[in-house]
């Protein structure tokens, strides 16, 4: 697998656009994104498990029933969740785009992100669609920018693999950065590929990959109403069609994992108010599932997150969070270390505190990327989860989000 | 039921003390508490469900096997959790106290609270026990102060009921204020009563009451290693012994609920960094359990908590949190209002936003006690849970707790 520049337009057949249409007041901020393929694609998506789902989630579910799509339309600035006429407005957006692009309405994946409960200003979206369609190009960055809300950085990634002698490209964009504890999906992540693959296997690959990537990050423990991870596969790479779980499928899934994992980690790093990417790697657990559950509890703990902000090697909070995770382990077997580019310091052996160099620990924990290592010494299960620190700015951003 | 002044020494037979012995560096801060009864008591306790339990939790479990006790010893400044020689040190503390008071070691409930993973300075506790015992008095406040960690306020409550023509008194103390999401217990809550009741029914009453009180609060979602809720019943009120679930039992449980609910709410109000007590009352749910689960999700949401800090009527986060609670409800039936001494404003009807007076909403949400009301319109189930806002000070307190 080779990492290449670009994002959602790296694969053959795809163009994208991102403009300001007026959903957001700030005219400097793009708020409407489009991803388009020159031909119909195999398509799949997984969605938030929140019982409260935004209207576009339901519209996309309907549109993807046949496993085909060729466009993704998304706005920021308004979630179209718990809002009046939500279904009607999501369908009107699809209808306007379908008419302009000369495609069917059910070939469109649609989503929204932003404040919950306000009516979607559908007129400005309808009015913006011609300009949006006119600006489609091979540059994927405007679309990556148009789905950002409180994100500080755009999130793009692309890579290539070889299948049956043909180069296959995958690329994606995503947005965070609050209300992030995805559960079988993430806030919004859109991946495109020119791989030839059936829509059934595409869905299976996406769902499995989300379980290993977006479902292993948390910014604040809040699972949003609009989570969606979607993928379009154009087949233009000309590789032998993947229609069974063969070696090509495995190679494709590994590349899809790489794209999703990169985007997931970028979402965690850019968590609201975050100053640090915090990884918790649990090893030696009874199974991968146990390791993932222990690791998720650690990176989700407000106390661990605040300690990481303060560069405080408070490992007792790490063991405490593992303890209430409900996953089985023996506290008296656990070793804990903190690691970063500045070094590694072990702070706990067999569930008991070790004397350690506080100055070194402080230096390790003041870096921008920190790893918390917990070895359970009970088996071969291991997993990494990703989060961020809890800061004054998280409180500031979320104390006054609507106004 | 009549509320009376006092706390853990309000009931007949009980004295208490609280001194500075040196576990904490700050000499102004009491760090060792004792509650003592002139006679052996029926006793019960419930404990943290965290898989990582502090040593004194295990020692107390052993000591309470016979359902009897007459003293509670607790220190702040050090949790004696994941610490070297934890069991030995907890037993040494009991032994020193037993010798000084002339009681058996297994008549003592022992607990610790503070930083996890540091050795308990058992010598200063042993050295402090004579002075602690000498200062036993009918004033319960020094003990309430000695168990405080980051708490800003001491938490005491007492009340009286009449059983069989006799006045029965209950009183208690508790501490918060971080690592608070109790699960069948709370950080530390000690209740005394002069009620005559068997230890079996005392335990049943306590466990049920904790489920309705301490288990319905959350400060930060972290379940501590040292949670303990304990009760001593001296029987000195002279009421007919409660040995079955009769009307007297029900009256006693109602009073115990009142004590525990008061202390639980005070813990939530005094959550680390908190400026507001936030109550979420869910009504019209399919059952009480559903209502409690929905309500807990709302008061636990970082986004709801930050919005309450910012006095932002962001009700979409309330419905979103209900949605990921895993409890069943129909979003399209839900009404949401915010209420406080400044008034009530409905912001959502049948799952959709209502136009509302933002100025009034702001005024309501700037009060010190706020209630979030959610009516599910599906049944008779209702419950209240209690939490607090998420503030800059929470981050500050927990960014540098150990140093």
User: What are A284's two structure tokens?
Assistant: 């030696």
Q: Are A117 and B353 a contacting pair at CB < 8 A?
A: yes
Exposure pattern of B174-185 as b/e (b: 16+ CB <10 Å)?
bbbbbbbbbbbb
Give residue A67's region: left, alpha or beta (phi > 0; psi -120 to 50).
left
Closest-CA distance, A246 to chain B, in angstroms, reads 36
∠ Cα A88 B323 B385 (to 5°): 140
- Could you tell me if A365 and A244 are in contact, meaning their C-beta atoms sit under 8 angstroms apart? no
Candidate list B186, B192, B223, B225, residue with the active-site label: B186
Q: Suggest the residue from B84, B223, B303 to mutate for an interface test with chain A (most A CBs closer than 10 A).
A: B303
Neighbours of B27 (CB within 10 A): 9
Q: Are A399 and B117 a contacting pair at CB < 8 A?
A: no
Q: For chain B, give the secondary structure using H, E and C.
A: CEEECCCCCCCCCEEEEEECCCCCCCCCCCCEEEEEEEEEEEEEEEECCCCCCCHHHHHHHHHCCCCEEEEEEEEECECCCCCCCHHHHHHHHHHHHHHHHCCCHHHEEEEEECCCCCCCCHHHHHHHHHHHHHCCECCCHHHHHHCCCCCCCCEEEEEEEEECCEEEEEEEEEECCCCCCCCCCCCEEEEEECCCECHHHHHHHHHHHHHHCHHHECCCCCCCCCCEEEEEECCCCCCCCECCCCHHHHHHHHHHHHHHHHHHHHHHHCCCCCCCEEEEEEEEECCHHHHHHHHHHHHHCHHHHHHHHCCCCCHHHHHHHHHCCCCCCCHHHCEEEEEECCEEEEEEECCEECCCCHHHHHHHHCCCEEEEEEECCCCCEEEEEEEECCCHHHHHHHHCCCC
Indicate whether A185 pLDDT > 60: no
pLDDT of residue B402: 62
User: What are B311's two structure tokens?
Assistant: 């006095």
SS3 content of chain A, % helix, strand, coil (to 5): 35, 30, 35
Nearest-angstrom CA–CA distance, B83 and B119: 5
Contacts within 8 Å (CB) and 24+ apart, A93-101: A93/A56, A93/A122, A93/A125, A93/A126, A93/A129, A94/A59, A94/A63, A96/A125, A96/A126, A96/A129, A97/A34, A97/A71, A97/A73, A97/A129, A97/A132, A97/A133, A100/A129, A100/A130, A100/A133, A101/A36, A101/A71, A101/A133
Query: What's chain A's length in residues?
Result: 403
Q: Are B179 and A82 a contacting pair at CB < 8 A?
A: no
pLDDT of residue A313: 94
pLDDT digits (tens, 9 = 90+) for B280-302: 999 999 999 999 999 999 999 99
Nearest-angstrom CA–CA distance, A389 and B75: 31
Give residue A85's region: left, alpha or beta (phi > 0; psi -120 to 50).
left
Nearest-angstrom CA–CA distance, A155 and A264: 9
Residues of A forming the active site: 186
Chain B residue numbers touching A324 (CB-CB < 8 A): 49-51, 181, 183, 222-223
Q: What is the pTM of this model?
A: 0.85
Give the model's confidence band at A186: pLDDT under 50 very low, under 70 low, under 90 confident, else very high. low
Q: Are A353 and B81 a contacting pair at CB < 8 A?
A: no
Out of B53, B222, B392, the one facing A302 most closely (by C-beta) is: B222
Biggest CA-to-CA distance, chain A: 69
Q: Which residue has the tokens 């037979």?
A: B13
The residues near A143 (Cβ < 8 Å, ≥ 6 apart) are A8, A16, A17, A18, A33, A34, A35, A173
Indicate whether A401 pLDDT > 80: no
- Could you tell me if B378 and B286 are in contact, meaning their C-beta atoms sit under 8 angstroms apart? yes
Q: Are A324 and B50 a contacting pair at CB < 8 A?
A: yes
Nearest-angstrom CA–CA distance, B385 and B371: 10
Nearest CA in chain A to B332: A82
Indicate whether A17 pLDDT > 60: yes
pLDDT of residue A255: 94
Q: In chain A, pLDDT over 70 holds for what percent of residues? A: 99
List the beta strands (DSSP E) in A142-225: 155-163, 166-175, 188-193
Q: What is the mean pLDDT of residues A110-123?
A: 93
Indicate whether A183 pLDDT > 80: no
ipTM confidence score: 0.84
Nearest-angstrom CA–CA distance, B33 and B21: 10
Q: Are B117 and A323 a contacting pair at CB < 8 A?
A: no
CA dihedral A84, A85, A90, A91 (to 10 degrees): 180
Indicate whether A165 pLDDT > 70: yes
Indicate whether A402 pLDDT > 80: no
pLDDT of residue B92: 98
pLDDT of residue A105: 97
Give the model's confidence band at A102: pLDDT under 50 very low, under 70 low, under 90 confident, else very high. very high
Q: How many CB pairs under 8 A join A and B?
A: 212
Mean pLDDT lowest for which of A106-115, A235-244, B78-87, B218-227? B218-227
pLDDT of residue A184: 61
∠ Cα A140 A144 A145 (to 5°): 120
Closest-CA distance, A316 to chain B, in angstroms, reads 5
Q: Are B301 and A221 a contacting pair at CB < 8 A?
A: yes
Out of B53, B302, B398, the one facing A303 most closely (by C-beta) is: B398
Out of A119, A178, A400, the one facing B303 most closely (by C-beta) is: A178
- Measured CA to CA in angstroms, residue B267 lies from A145, A403, B57, B256, B379 at distances of 43, 31, 21, 16, 30
pLDDT of residue B66: 94
Q: If you ran DSSP here, which 8-state letter would residue A224 be given?
A: P
CA dihedral A13, A17, A153, A369 (to 10 degrees): -10
Indicate whether A68 pLDDT > 80: yes
Q: For A291-335, give the secondary structure using H, E and C.
A: HHHHHHHHHHCHHHHHHHHCCCCCHHHHHHHHHCCCCCCCHHHCE
Closest-CA distance, A87 to chain B, in angstroms, reads 13
pLDDT digits (tens, 9 = 90+) for B184-218: 656 789 999 999 999 999 999 999 999 889 988 88
pLDDT of residue B176: 84
The residues near A116 (Cβ < 8 Å, ≥ 6 apart) are A54, A79, A81, A82, A83, A225, B314, B316, B317, B319, B320
pLDDT of residue A197: 95
pLDDT digits (tens, 9 = 90+) for A290-306: 999 999 999 999 999 99
Closest-CA distance, B164 to chain A, in angstroms, reads 43
Nearest-angstrom CA–CA distance, B283 and B295: 10
Q: What is the mean pLDDT of residues A348-373?
A: 95
- Could you tell me if B278 and B372 are in contact, meaning their C-beta atoms sit under 8 angstroms apart? yes
Q: Which residues in chain B show pLDDT less than 50? A: none
Give residue A260's region: left, alpha or beta (phi > 0; psi -120 to 50).
alpha
pLDDT of residue B103: 98
Task: Give, rounded to a whole angstrom, the gap between the first and last alpha carbons of chain A.
Answer: 45
HSE of A197, CA atoms in CB hemisphere, 13 A: 32
The burial class, CB within 10 Å (0-12 / 13-18 / 19+), for B67 is middle
Neighbours of B403 (CB within 10 A): 9
Nearest CA in chain B to A307: B399
Out of A118, A301, A328, the one facing B222 most closely (by C-beta) is: A301
User: What are B166's two structure tokens?
Assistant: 């006799």
Instruction: Single out the residue of B135, B124, B137 nearest to residue B96, CA to CA.
Output: B124
Indicate whether A403 pLDDT > 60: no
Nearest-angstrom CA–CA distance, B387 and B369: 10
Query: What's chain B's length in residues?
Result: 403
Alpha helices by DSSP H, listed for A175-236, are 199-212
Task: Give, rounded to a whole angstrom, the gap between the first and last alpha carbons of chain B.
Answer: 45
Residue A87 φ then ψ, to 5°: -65, -45
pLDDT of residue B49: 85
- Measured CA to CA in angstroms, residue B9 lies from B17, B137, B329, B388 at distances of 10, 8, 45, 29
């Amino acid at each position: 697998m080779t990492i290449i520049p670009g994002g959602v337009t790296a694969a053959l057949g795809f163009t994208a656009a991102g403009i300001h249409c007026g959903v957001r007041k700030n005219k400097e901020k793009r708020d409407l994104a489009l991803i388009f393929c020159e031909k119909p694609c195999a398509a799949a998506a997984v969605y938030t498990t929140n019982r409260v789902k935004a209207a576009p989630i339901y519209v996309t579910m309907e549109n993807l029933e046949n496993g085909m799509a060729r466009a993704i339309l998304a706005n920021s600035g308004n979630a179209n969740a718990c809002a009046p006429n939500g279904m009607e407005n999501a369908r009107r957006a699809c209808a306007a785009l379908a008419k302009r692009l000369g495609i069917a309405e059910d070939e469109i994946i649609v989503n929204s992100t932003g404040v919950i409960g306000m009516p979607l200003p559908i007129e400005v979206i309808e009015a913006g669609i011609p300009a949006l369609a006119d600006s489609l190009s091979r540059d994927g960055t405007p679309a990556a920018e148009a789905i950002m809300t409180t994100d500080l950085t755009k999130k793009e990634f692309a890579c290539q693999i070889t299948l049956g002698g043909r180069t296959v490209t995958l690329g994606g964009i995503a947005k965070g950065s609050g209300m992030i504890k995805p559960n079988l999906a993430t806030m919004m992540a859109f991946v495109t590929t020119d791989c030839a693959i059936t829509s059934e296997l595409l869905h299976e690959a996406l769902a499995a990959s989300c379980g290993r990537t977006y479902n292993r990050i948390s910014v604040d423990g809040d699972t949003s109403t609009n989570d969606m991870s979607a993928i379009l596969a154009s087949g233009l790479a000309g590789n032998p069609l993947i229609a069974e779980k063969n070696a090509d499928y495995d190679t494709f899934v590994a590349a899809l994992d790489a794209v999703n994992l990169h985007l997931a980690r970028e979402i965690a790093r850019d968590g609201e108010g975050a100053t640090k990417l915090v990884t918790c790697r649990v090893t030696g657990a009874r199974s991968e599932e146990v390791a993932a559950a222990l690791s998720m509890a650690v990176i989700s703990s407000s106390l661990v997150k605040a300690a990481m902000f303060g560069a405080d090697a408070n490992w007792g909070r790490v063991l405490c969070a593992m303890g209430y995770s409900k996953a089985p382990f023996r506290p008296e077997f656990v070793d804990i270390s903190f690691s970063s580019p500045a070094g590694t310091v072990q702070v706990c052996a067999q569930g008991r505190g070790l004397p350690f160099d506080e100055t070194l620990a402080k230096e390790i924990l003041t870096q921008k990327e920190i790893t918390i290592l917990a070895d359970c010494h009970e088996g071969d299960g291991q997993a990494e989860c990703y989060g961020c620190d809890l800061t004054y700015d998280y409180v500031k951003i979320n104390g006054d989000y609507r106004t």
